[in-house]
Structures are given as structure tokens and as C-alpha cells.
Amino acid sequence: MKTGNDRLVPLLISKTRITNFVIFKQFFRAIHTSIMSSLNAFLFEYQYISKEGRAHLHKYHYEGVDASVFSKLLQPFWEGVANRIPRNIAPNLITMVGFIGVLIALALTCWYFPTHMTDYEQNVPSWLYIVISILFFYYQTVDAVDGKHARNTNMQTALGELFDHGLDAIQITIQAYIMCCTMQLGATVWTYIVVIALYITGYILIWEDYCTNELRFGEYNSPTEAMVIVLVMLLSVACFGNSFWINTAYTGELVGIDWLALNHLFVYAGLLLAVSATVPTVMYVVQKAKEAKNDRLKRIGGVNGSLSSLFPSFFVVINYCGYLWVSEELYSVYPKTYLVALGCVSWYIQVCSY
């Protein structure tokens, strides 16, 4: 026969379970409310652009000079493509669709280079490099066409240019990664020299636009020339095999160098090209700042203000070079993680500094 206490035990257990269930329900409801309110604030209430910035958005007017040799050759093709795009399509949609091509190229590269970015001993198919070449040419075409379409339809905005340059910042890191895989540089310091050099070059070109409100490209240092170089690199591997870029380019004695591979020679040439693009750009901005004829330069503080806006980029470079110096394992074992982190930070810095 059950006593009174025996009868109370199941009731107490049941009541405890109900109480615990209610507590957990309230707890998860609180978490859900907190997450949703934070997400809502981040997406819809956070002031990404200041009131002063929003007031200046309608005053935006794109100014650019492109003296590129290859751009002049491709202008008729770009104009023809832009004129055939339906006018009801938003320019930002065109930009995003073009960037999808870069993501496909990245996915294919990661699939066939799953480890340390140097798989020339494996049979990577030649068609891979041809497909990636087509995807990069597609992206370059769309990148040139979206602005023309925006001006043709009177839909050009500062936010559209910001979106375009933001995706370009991500694309630079992806392009550098694919270049290093193609040249079989591997998870070495050579790879990070290429990535950081491209990052600095891209940042300074956009920095000039930020300071002078004018985007200028020279005869041989525009994104079109850079893309042509990448296409030649990819197609050379498709024609001559995966080990083409590790062939010896030089044997002898020159400043202590007894041999030099093609990929290392290319890196040296690329560094010279990057210096030839960035140094004149910095000098041009400083000269404009000294003249103080530009409203944008006056607003950001002249020479000191323009040069101080380079600090975020240099901070990123010094920081990531410090990581490489401190931990060899970081770039030898986790190269993709390192490059993804650098790409995300460079994108954020470039967009926020614009």
C-alpha cells in the first residue's frame, strides 16, 4: 500500500519537469529574442553611412580616366555588350552575377588543389585552366560593363561604386590565390608576397579615388592589363603543362643567384610593375593635396589627411607579415585560412576607408 509520500513523489517529479520545461522555454525564447533583435538592428537599423555621408550621396558624380592600351582595344566590345543589356536590369545585379564567375573559378581551383597549392605532380586537367581563363575574362567584361550600363540608364550611384569596389577587393585575393596555384608557388613566402603586393596595389588605386574623386589608370597598370597577364599565365599552363612555371629560367651567377625559376622571375617582374603603378599614384595624390584645389582633399585634411588614410592598409600588411614571421606553421599548414582572413580584412578595410 502506497503512503502519502509515495504518492507525492511522482507529482513532485512531474511538477519539476514542467517547471524545468518552462524555464528552458523562457530561456530559449529570451535567446531567440536577443538574436533576432540584434540581427534586425545589424541589418536594418545600424547606420552604415553617417548623416553627412547620406547628405552627400546625391552629389556623387563618377570621374575616371583610363589610358590603358588593352582597355582601348576592348572598348568597342564592352560598349556593344552594355548596349545589349535590358535597361530594367540593375547595375548592381550585373556586378553580382559577374562576381559569381570568380566564385566558380575559386571552387574549381580548391577542388583540384585541395592541399598546399602545388599539385603539379598530379594530373590536373588542362581544361581547368581554360575554364578559369574564360571565367576571369567574363568577370573583367562584366566589371567594365556594369558602370557603362549604370551611366546609360542613369542609375549610377555612390553605393553602386562602393559595391563594385568591395567585390573587386575580394576578387583581388581570389585572383592572387589562383595565380599562385597556377605558378606552383606553394604555401611559401612567395605566395604571400604576391597576395600582399596585389592587395597594396589595389588599395592605393582606390585610395586615389577616395582622395581626388577621380579614378585614373595608366597605359600599362590598369586592371585590364592585370587580367591579360593572368589569362596568359593560365593559358600557358593549359598549353605546356602543369610544371611549366617551375622550369628554370636562369642559370649562372647574378648577384648571388645561381638559378631562377620562371615563377620566381614572374614575381620579381610583378613587384616592379606594382611599384611602377603605386609610386606615381602616391606622388600624384600628394601633389594634388599640396595644390589644395580639390574639395575632397580639403575635406579630408590635405596632405596629412590623405597620407594618414593609408595607415589602415599598412597596418593590415604589417600585422599579417608579423603573423608570418612569428608562426611558420600558419602559412605552411593553413595557407587557405590565412588567405581567406587576409581577403576578408582587406575587403572590410577598403570598403570602410572609401
Does residue 317 form part of some domain? yes
Rounded Cα–Cα distance for residues 305 and 289 (Å): 9
Does residue 127 form part of some domain? yes
Rounded Cα–Cα distance for residues 211 and 324 (Å): 31
Does residue 57 form part of some domain? no
Does residue 257 form part of some domain? yes
Does residue 166 form part of some domain? yes
Q: Which residues contact 349 (CB under 8 A, 6 or more apart)?
A: 203, 312, 313, 316
Give the residue numbers spanning the domain of 191.
90-212+222-353
Number of domains, the chain: 1
pLDDT in tens, 259-307: 567 888 888 888 888 888 888 888 888 888 787 666 777 777 777 877 8
Rounded Cα–Cα distance for residues 339 and 333 (Å): 12
Does residue 48 form part of some domain? no
Does residue 178 form part of some domain? yes
User: What sign has the CA pseudo-torsion 227, 233, 234, 235?
Assistant: positive
Task: Count Cβ atoms below 10 Å from residue 112 Cβ, excluding itself.
Answer: 17
Does residue 2 form part of some domain? no
**pLDDT tens over the chain, length 354 residues:** 445 455 544 544 455 555 545 554 555 565 556 555 555 555 455 565 667 666 666 666 667 777 778 888 888 898 888 888 888 888 888 888 889 999 999 888 888 877 655 555 456 788 889 999 999 999 999 988 988 888 888 877 777 777 888 788 888 888 888 888 888 887 777 888 888 888 888 888 888 887 887 777 777 777 888 888 889 888 988 888 777 887 765 555 554 454 567 888 888 888 888 888 888 888 888 888 787 666 777 777 777 877 887 887 788 788 777 777 777 666 677 777 777 777 777 777 766 655
Say how many CA atoms lie within 13 Å of 246 toward its Cβ: 14
